[in-house]
Amino acid sequence: MADSDFRRARQNVTAATIVAALLATSPVLAADVVTELQQAEELSNFASAMMLAGFGDEMRDDGPYTIFVPTDVALAEEGTATLLNGVYRTLRNRARLVDLVSYHIVLGEAVDVTEAGVSRELIALNGESIQLECDVERSMINGQIEIVATTEADNGVIHRVSGLLWPLQQSAQESTEARSELIELH
């Protein structure tokens, strides 16, 4: 091998090594919150409801968003899995779907739930209040729904939660009626 061929090969290897090192250390951006939801099989019921409510395309950009998403297992355990699993395709009151889904979304910040001692009020997309309380052991929504896992996206954060959130201002009777109506439609 000629000396010039050796130098050229060495330069190519060096350049390839530098590019590989840069790629290995570059942060890989996560997908947007909608894509993350659609790819998470354990969140498929809520992801479907979110799309049916019309929140899909507008949440692919901008943000940041915080979405509190009940897992499919949590919905099944509380008897509301059918409520989000295709039921809304026939829901007479589409406004209820939009209201329910928008109560799980906070616009304008990616809410961190890891800091112990935090107690704060968040305002959901539908204008209702969500109470967040974080202590050393766990993070809770409205004093009864636990945040069980978190996924970061490039335009926000998705918190998997242990149940469906119902607006605080909604009476217990209204919540029961809403659940019954939605389950009956299935």
CATH of the domain at 153: 2.30.180.10
Residue segments in the chain with a per-residue pLDDT below the cut of 70: 1-30, 79-93, 168-186
Query: Is 4 a member of any domain?
Result: no
Q: What integer pLDDT is reported at residue 174 of this predicted model? A: 54
**What is the span of the domain harbouring residue 98?**
30-184
What pLDDT does residue 80 have?
63
In terms of pTM, does the model score above 0.75?
A: no
Q: What is the pLDDT of residue 45?
A: 85
- 8 part of a folded domain: no
State how far the Cα of 69 lies from the Cα of 147, in Å rounded to an integer. Answer: 9
pLDDT at 136: 85
Q: φ and ψ at 126, to 5 degrees?
A: -85, 5
Q: What pLDDT score was predicted for residue 135? A: 87
Looking at residue 2, its pLDDT comes to 63
Count how many domains the chain has: 1
For residues 182 and 159, what is the distance between their CA atoms, to the nearest angstrom? 24
For residue 41, what are its two tokens?
């099989």
Q: What is the pLDDT of residue 74?
A: 85
pLDDT at 159: 95
Residue 118 burial by Cβ neighbours in a 10 Å radius (0-12, 13-18, 19+): middle
